[in-house]
Amino acid sequence: MSWSSYYPDLFASSGVDSSVRIWSIHQVCFFCTSCWWENCASA
């Protein structure tokens, strides 16, 4: 399971504000250098 698919689904189903969702995705990928550009650069 990739962070890029897991987190949007998790936050969307929770009704979290999009700005919080995007911030959280960036926080996750900050610690995952291999997925940063692939999954987060355009988030």
d(CA 17, CA 36): 21
pLDDT at 40: 58
> Residue 26: what pLDDT?
63
pLDDT at 8 (0 to 100) = 59
Report DSSP state, residue 32: -
Task: Give pLDDT tens digits along the chain (43 positions).
Answer: 455 555 556 655 655 566 666 666 666 655 555 565 566 555 4
Which two tokens mark 40?
């987060």
